[in-house]
Structure 1
Amino acid sequence: MPKLKTRRAAAKRFQATGSGKIARRKANRNHLLQKKSAARKRRLGNLALVDATNEENVRLMLPYL
């Protein structure tokens, strides 16, 4: 069976946690930051888990994750 290709765009955006779940970055942390509070920016810096409804699609994009 041939090797499967990884979608490189997805590989740059997702990573696996120790328990095998998929982590992602949060949106809204790139620009227009002066109007956001420091607490909000701090929360946006943390990783979030990919929702269960999307996890299957992400795993198809990353066969060797």
Structure 2
Amino acid sequence: MPKMKTNRAAAKRFKKTAKGGFKSGHAFTSHRFHGKTKKQRRQLRGTGMMDQTNIKRFKKMLPFK
């Protein structure tokens, strides 16, 4: 049976939490902030948790994290 491989693109973008969830940075944060409200910009800071519907798929992509 071949070795399991980590999806390198996902490994660079997501981190696994202690309880088994995944956290990642927010989208829409690289440029064009003049079109976003202050509230939007503030809420896009930091990291966010991945939705529960995607967890199963990402556990397959990141088997060793």
**TM-fit CA distance, 1:48:** 1.2
Larger deviation, residues 54-63 vs 13-22: 13-22
| TM norm structure 2 | 0.81
What is the CA RMSD across the aligned residues, in angstroms? Answer: 1.6
Residue 34 in structure 1 maps to residue 34 in structure 2: yes
1:6-45 mapped onto 2 (5 Å cutoff): 6-45=6-45
Q: Aligned partners of 2:18, 2:38: CA distance in 1, in Å?
A: 29
Deviations 1:5-47 (A, max 9, x none): 1000000110012333110111111111122233321210121
Q: Aligned partners of 1:47, 1:22: CA distance in 2, in Å?
A: 10
1:46-65 mapped onto 2 (5 Å cutoff): 46-65=46-65
For 2:24, the aligned partner's letter is: R
| TM norm structure 1 | 0.81
For 1:11, the aligned partner's letter is: A
Extract unaligned runs of 5+ from structure 1.
none
List structure 1 segments (4+ residues) > 6 angstroms apart after TM superposition.
Answer: none
**TM-fit CA distance, 1:2:** 5.0
The structure whose residues are more often helix, as a share, is 2
